[in-house]
Chains A and B, each alone.
Chain A
Amino acid sequence: RKEVEQDPGPFNVPEGATVAFNCTYSNSASQSFFWYRQDCRKEPKLLMSVYSSGNEDGRFTAQLNRASQYISLLIRDSKLSDSATYLCVVSRPYGNNRLAFGKGNQVVVIP
């Protein structure tokens, strides 16, 4: 089983709609969780950290489910500029110094 698994998509989303996707991780001892955004031919950039109680940043909401070992990202009122690949990132345990990256969920917002 891969450390971090994501459905690559693409997720075609009408502008203004809501899109949500999950990411599963294999190591129950993982400590830290992040969503990164990567635009085509660009570097990954931190979108948001994911906290145990769930957290929101504007139109973006992240949730963590430790029991089922998944994290989720929800984007409300999608904008054309939200089109990107969203990488699920999980820290490996025992030092928190290595991150495992999923291959990403590709989101395409359609006018």
Chain B
Amino acid sequence: DAGVIQSPRHEVTEMGQEVTLRCKPISGHNSLFWYRQTMMRGLELLIYFNNNVPIDDSGMPEDRFSAKMPNASFSTLKIQPSEPRDSAVYFCASRLDRTRGQPQHFGDGTRLSIL
């Protein structure tokens, strides 16, 4: 089975530009999570969807960040305008919420560098 698929794998862009990260969750999974990982702060949850509906976006840093999940097989995380401090690895993860204790499965991540 295909795992969580993220694109692009790497993104280097100048500050002020719009950045769009993409994620395809594992087929059949009904929860999707966007994380950001840096050396200083570790892995932080940005937003979480359940059945395509945003449930908790309290981790989204500010209005420059937005996320959508138009259907069960696709989600985007957008940063507009981007800033150098947004440089990080962004992971998407999905999970099947069938019973308690199900783990999350991560994509390979997008390594984002804002110059």
Name A residues whose Cβ lies closer than 8 Å to a Cβ of B.
31-32, 34, 42-46, 49, 87, 91, 96-99, 101-104
Contacts and interface: CB of A to CB of B under 8 A. Distances in A.
B101 A49 contact: yes
B106 interface: yes
Q: Which of B42, B50, B97, B103 has the most CB of A within 10 A?
A: B103
Contacts of B103: 34, 46, 49
Contacts of B43: 44, 87, 101, 103
Contacts of B106: 43-45
B42 A31 contact: no
Contacts of A96: 100-101
How extensive is the interface on chain B, given as a class? 10 to 19
Given A31-B100, A32-B100, A101-B42, A43 B108 contact: yes
Contacts of A34: 103
Contacts of A44: 43, 91, 106
Nearest to A99: B104
A44 B45 CA distance: 14
Contacts of B31: 97
26 contacts: A31-B100, A34-B103, A42-B108, A42-B109, A43-B107, A43-B108, A44-B43, A44-B91, A45-B106, A46-B103, A46-B104, A46-B105, A49-B101, A49-B103, A87-B43, A96-B101, A97-B31, A97-B56, A97-B97, A98-B45, A98-B48, A99-B45, A101-B43, A102-B42, A103-B42, A103-B43
Contact of B91 (A43, A91, A102, A103): A43
B12 interface: no
B55 interface: yes
B50 A97 contact: yes
A87 to B, nearest CB: 7
B1 to A, nearest CB: 15
Interface in B20-48: 31, 42-43, 45, 48
Interface string B70-109: 0000000000000000000001000001001101111111
